[in-house]
Structures are given as C-alpha cells and as structure tokens.
Amino acid sequence: MSKLQEAFISWSGGKDSCMALHYSLQDPNWRIAGLQTTISKEYNRISIHGVREELLEMQAESLNMPLIKLYLDEMPDMLSYETQLTKANADLLQMGVKNIVYGDIFLEDLRTYREGLLQKTDQRAVFPLWKRNTRELIFEFIDLGYKTIIVSAQEGLQHLCGKIIDKELIDTLPAGIDPCGENGEFHTFVVNGPIFNKGLDVLTGELVFKPFQIDTDLHNELPKGAWYIDLVPNP
C-alpha cells in the first residue's frame, strides 16, 4: 500500500475551500493534516472575508481539524506577505507537509502565483476544483447539504450580505456575476455541512462598507471597497 500524501488546506472558512476539503477527504491518496488561515492581526478577523477569529476556531473544532493561523498586517506589501507565507509553508514542510490544497476554480494568474510561491519551499499546489463549472459546483455544494452565509460583497451586491446561499439566490444573481463569486464578487462563511460534527449557531450583526486602502483614482477599474456583515456566535 502506498503511503498517504500529507496536505494542508489553504482555508478561508468559505465555500470554495470547504469544497476543496470535502473532495480531499474523499480522495484515498490524501491525509489532510489541517487548515492554514491568514488573519488580520489588527482586527483578528479572517483576511478578505472579515469573519471573527473565534468563529474560525469554532469551525475548525467542528471539522475536527488542526488550525494554523498566520497573522498578517491588514494590507501587507507583497514582499512582507510572501516572506511570512513562505516561512509558514516552510514550517509545514518541516512537519512533512509537501502539498497545499486550494479552492481556486479558474483564475489562471492566481494559480500561477500560488505554484510559484510554493516552488520556493519545494512544495506542490493542488487544485481539486480546477475548471469546474461554477454553477454546477455551487449547486452540488447546496445538494450536499452545506450551509454558507455571504459575509462580504462588492458594491451593488450588499443586499446579499447575511443571506444563506440557495439555488434561488444563485438564479437571481445579476448578469455577469459568477455563481461562486470567483472574481471576488462575494465571499462566504460555511456554518454547517456533512463534514461538520455540528452546525455553527451564528447571528448577523452590523453591515458596514470598508474602502480598500489603495489609490483607486489610479486604478479606476478596481472597486472602491466592499461591504461586510458581522457574524457573531449566538450566545
């Protein structure tokens, strides 16, 4: 019998990394050793998604998965980001982890970037969702029984924040919006599903707009910011 390959999941707490974990757990060639998540050290929230660290910990506990947290500045420069992430990946390699699993679906430049970064530590990037039809993928996610809440969205989609994704929501998305939000249109946090020991009981809080800390006057094609809804544990 061949030895199982050790892998960590690059974990955002959202639906895509959750489906990557789902498929990896089903693959007899893999042993998923844990989750790796980047966190804003200024706000103690998951990077980009904006979810509280305590909810991330509840999620990992329900999944019965070890969690490694990498604390980053809110808007780190590229050199600082790559240095810290490469150090974290090297630490995983010392633990025998040669593979990092990602939930990316079709962004070629992002895949190339991840693969290049892992070459520095002689590790491999794995993409179990690669080139999947995003509408079929999100419908499969729903049919499997996963529950995920939209926690952030681009301007014009803020009415979706706080909603659980279902097929009706997907069918009513505006034209041009990817069903999985793969272009950054929205981000999610998974609260229940077949690989969870128990669901997370959460409440929605304040909806706020956060401007991006970049000069959008020089990058008119970029959004000015994003909307975030706070999720809190139900006491």
Using one digit for the tens of pLDDT, what is the confidence trace for 7-17?
A: 999 999 999 99
Q: Is residue 178 over pLDDT 60?
A: yes
- The domain locations on the chain are 5-126, 147-233
Count of C-beta atoms within a 10 Å radius of residue 138: 26
Q: Is residue 203 over pLDDT 70?
A: yes
Band (pLDDT 50/70/90 cuts) for residue 211 is confident
Q: Which of 144, 124, 198 is closest to 15 using CA atoms?
A: 144
For residue 93, the model assigns a pLDDT of 97
For residue 176, the model assigns a pLDDT of 96
Beta strands, E only, 22-87: 30-40, 45-46, 67-72
Q: Do domains 5-126 and 147-233 have the same CATH topology?
A: no
For residue 185, the model assigns a pLDDT of 97
For residue 222, the model assigns a pLDDT of 52
Q: Please state which architecture CATH assigns to domain 147-233.
A: Alpha-Beta Complex (3.90)
Q: What is the mean pLDDT of residues 126-154?
A: 99
Q: Is residue 218 over pLDDT 70?
A: no
What's the first-to-final CA gap in the chain, in angstroms? 47
Q: What is the mean pLDDT of residues 95-111?
A: 97
Mean pLDDT score of the chain? 94
Band (pLDDT 50/70/90 cuts) for residue 214 is low
Provide the CA 93 distance to its chain's centre, in angstroms: 21
Q: Is residue 191 over pLDDT 90?
A: yes
Band (pLDDT 50/70/90 cuts) for residue 220 is very low
Q: What is the pLDDT of residues 31-88, one digit of tens each?
A: 999 999 999 999 999 999 999 999 999 999 999 999 999 999 877 788 999 999 999 9
Q: Is residue 1 over pLDDT 60?
A: no
Alpha carbon distance 10, 97 (integer Å): 12
Class of the 5-126 domain? alpha beta
Q: What is the mean pLDDT of residues 107-114?
A: 97
Q: Which of 9, 22, 50, 15 is closest to 147 using CA atoms?
A: 15
For residue 216, the model assigns a pLDDT of 39
- CB-CB contact of 85 with 70 (8 Å): yes
Percent of the chain with pLDDT over 90: 88
